[in-house]
Amino acid sequence: MVFSRLFFIYIFLPLCLLCYAAARGIKQKNTVLIIFSLLFYAWGEPVYIFLMLVTAAVNYTAGLIIGKYQGKKGDTAATVTAVVYDLLMLGVFKYSGFITENINALFSCSIPVPHLKLPIGISFYTFQTISYIIDCHWEKVKPQKSFKNYMLFLTLFPQLVAGPIVRYSTIEKEINERSVELRDISCGLNRIALGLAKKVLIADSLSTIADSFLGNIGGSTMLGAWYGVIAYSMQVYFDFSGYSDIAIGLGRVFGFHFDENFDHPFICKDITEFWQRWHISLSTFFRDYVLYIPIFGKRRKYGGLFLVWLCTGIWHGASWNFILWGLYYGIFVFIEMKIGKKNMKKIPVVIRHIYSKLVIFIGFGIFYFEDIGKLGTFFRTAFGFGSNGFIAVQDKISLINNMYLLILAVICTFPLISTIKKVSDKRFMSKAVISSAAAVAAVMILVVTSIMLVDSTTRPFLYYRF
């Protein structure tokens, strides 16, 4: 099921809210959320829901064993078994075809290539289970003794299929003790409206530009290649951050406080800062669970760094372009580490902004093209070695026709809402007036997005395929 569909907005969600409100006590409310979460997932993946249930059972049992044998061999055995199982399931469904194809190409074999459909959300809920198991092993959290409560943590539909990656420690207390006030509902619904606007009004519109110029990269000019990749960069941002906004808003409505996943990444001044602001739940996952893994018996600063970026690339997809994309960013983070924070700050801010945006846009070019041949064509075209020249008539027409969309997209990459709040606080504006204005804006956004969704072919969120 997709958040940006009228069925979800006007049938599934209201029905869930009514049942949730009618339920008495936290246990009944949790039951309602589990049922609706399973329905939400089964709507798109009726078969693979059993895989998720088995995964839940394996990790729940492992958690209990870890708690029983804390610090003993049983603890280690359960931890290793659960993590290996989680990674194996992810590997089988996501990477088996890619691995087989490369073995066939490398050794001239003819091993049948498996074509398994990727279970929606497996990359996200697998990392949630791994973080839970490792945190139990490290004694950062206590193992959950109730299977029902563990199911709620794993299957909670707001963040189930495309994040943010919610750790058990984040919502551990709220599983059994949470309350929802009018302010929570108001803030949550406003956040949902914001996410829908990002997705429907901006991301889906930018996708037309990106597909037009990058989808036919062989026929694009130099300007067309840059125009397309910039549009795609902003499309991915508004698409994924829009999903995160909806997920965080939905969580807030039900009394859960998920961590932020984006912090206006395009205002960054270097690549290190970009990744402190982009897909924060994934970045912190690799920082906490992968960065300090011993390599050849020792913790190696730069070895761990490149392992993190290799894993980041692989996590995004079973294709060589994603591996290149991860290592590409690893190189620039490594360079910035060698330069040092103090020396980086000595570089003029304008130059740092230009440098970071060029690296980011080129990175999204690598991210877009899974076909390595087309990726090579993109690089040749973008750097003036293509056969179609610098600019064409269709480039000018598209730029003129989409000028307002592009300006709106650029403006919305800045922290407008936090700026408005700061200004209102300084001018001592009434909170009631501000809340009313936000509510009116949210209703207007909902009306506009609903009109656009009627008879539309809204694209699924991009990160559904990861």
Half-sphere exposure of 145 (CA within 13 A, CB side): 4
Respond yes or no: is residue 115 known to be catalytic: no
Angle at 362 between CA 357 and CA 367, to 5 degrees: 120
E strands within 210-331? none
Q: Specify the 3-state DSSP secondary structure of 298.
A: strand
Among 137, 257, 279, 316, the active-site one is 316
The full DSSP string for 23-73 is S-HHHHHHHHHHHHHHHHHHHH-TTTHHHHHHHHHHHHHHHHHHHHTTTSH
Q: What residues contact residue 103 under an 8 Å CB cut-off, 6+ apart?
A: 109, 111
Spatial contact of 366 and 229, defined as CB atoms under 8 Å apart? no
Distance between CA atoms of 352 and 339, rounded to whole angstroms? 13
Q: How far is CA 166 from the centre of its chain?
A: 11
Q: Specify the 3-state DSSP secondary structure of 230.
A: helix
Q: Report the candidate in 134, 132, 135, 162 with the shortest Cα–Cα distance to residue 149.
A: 132
Work out the widest C-alpha separation in the chain, in whole angstroms: 72
Neighbours of 463 (CB within 10 A): 19
E strand or H helix that includes residue 97: helix 73-107
Q: What residues contact residue 232 under an 8 Å CB cut-off, 6+ apart?
A: 206, 207, 210, 214, 364, 365, 368
Q: What residues contact residue 255 under an 8 Å CB cut-off, 6+ apart?
A: 174, 178, 179, 180, 184
Spatial contact of 326 and 311, defined as CB atoms under 8 Å apart? yes
Distance between CA atoms of 30 and 354, rounded to whole angstroms? 48
The full DSSP string for 160-227 is TTT-----HHHHTGGGTS----HHHHHHHHHHHHHHHIIIIIIIHHHHHHHHHHHTTGGG--HHHHHH
Spatial contact of 125 and 150, defined as CB atoms under 8 Å apart? no
User: Which residues are the active-site residues?
Assistant: 316
